[in-house]
Structure 1
Amino acid sequence: MEHRVLYDHRWAEDLYSSVRCSGMLLGMLFLIDWGTGRLTWSRGTLWVTLALVLFLVLFPARVSAGEGWLACRRPLRTRRVRTDVLVSVRCLDGVSRRLLLRDAFGDRVEIDPQVLVNNPDLWFRLAEDARRSAAAGTLTCGTTALRRIGERIDRETALSVFRASGLE
């Protein structure tokens, strides 16, 4: 059996977008201050710091998965969960939707469900391990959340096929 690691293939694109947004903010702030004649070293430092904070807020998590695990790497920390012994899967609503995975060892990972929609191979890996957890009896909460994500992925995949074939 092949044991390969799967990655979010859109991560680099998302990283580029966060760099672009931060750079555009910095450029606009410098341009406005330069145009009004108020650009100083202290204001320039403040604008660079503000752009850096925006970059860190927008920095995308690097999601990867293998057989029995899923990891989410951020700038300061990497979280990893054992997907073959999941205890719960919850969909958190708020400003942005998050999927919270917890395993039997107390580890937890929060990811954007859109990562799974954009990467069907990551979804397949997670769904297969979640089925294994449910069969073993460890997954006590979350089958509904997983089913909804699966339906969303199926819908997006069907729309992509229709678009590619010109049937939309």
Structure 2
Amino acid sequence: MGHRDGTRDDVLPPHGATAARAAYDRRWAGDLRSAIRCSAVFLSLLVLIDCGAGRLTFVRGGLWVGLGVLLFLVLFPQRVTAGEGWLASRGPLRERRVRTDLLVSVRCLDGVSQRLRLRDMLGNRVEIDPQVLVDNPDLWRGLERDAYESAARGSLTCGETALRRISERVDRETALSVFRASGLE
């Protein structure tokens, strides 16, 4: 049932779903490069300041490298992938999957950074940044289709308002993109 990477057989893509039809976060590679750059600059500044003060030792250098790696892990962007009936979010340590065709709830969590929590009938849960869906309409359309299918079946008991808000954001961003591309901004 369980696998080493945290995925479970019951949340793998349904039979017939192939990786060729999966939608990916198009901005993930750029976000990853930004995380690497920020961590490298932070590490370089720490080492440079310590070296300039004449206090750089092997132990202190190891501490600075550890802090640089810790910053990288904090900044590491989740890689969101979706296919027919599923959505996955992969972080630096593990992957979480949810069956979007079996959704029970969709909630917007406010705080320092807004998160969208999806939960399915099997008890699986995924949290993603809603901006990923706004930036990637292919990801959003697949989730939207499956979520409304779950609502029509009666399994989605909570979250239609959150879905409607995200749908409005996606539509607004898509319209603005079309206006920018056509010069009507």
* Deviations 1:39-89, CA, capped at 9 Å, x for gaps: 111111111000000000010111101110001111211110000010000
Equivalence map 1:76-91=2 (5 Å): 76-91=93-108
Query: Are 1:145 and 2:162 matched, yes or no?
Result: yes
Instruction: Give the ranges of 4+ consecutive aligned residues of structure 1 lying more than 6 Å apart after TM superposition.
Output: none
- In the alignment, what sits opposite 1:55? 72
Structure 2, gaps ≥5 residues long = 1-15
Percent identity, aligned pairs only, is 71
Cα distance between partner residues in 2 of 1:159 and 1:9: 18
* Deviations 1:70-112, CA, capped at 9 Å, x for gaps: 0111121111000001000000001110000000111110000
Query: Are 1:40 and 2:57 matched, yes or no?
Result: yes
Cα distance between partner residues in 2 of 1:43 and 1:17: 25
2:31 is paired with a residue whose SS is: helix
Cα distance between partner residues in 2 of 1:122 and 1:143: 17
Cα distance between partner residues in 2 of 1:125 and 1:23: 36
Contact 2:17 2:83 in 1 (8 A): no
- In the alignment, what sits opposite 1:16? 33
TM value normalised by structure 2: 0.88
Give 1:113 deviation, angstroms: 0.4
2:165 is paired with a residue whose SS is: helix
Query: Are 1:67 and 2:84 matched, yes or no?
Result: yes
Give 1:5 deviation, angstroms: 1.0
TM value normalised by structure 1: 0.97
Query: Are 1:31 and 2:48 matched, yes or no?
Result: yes
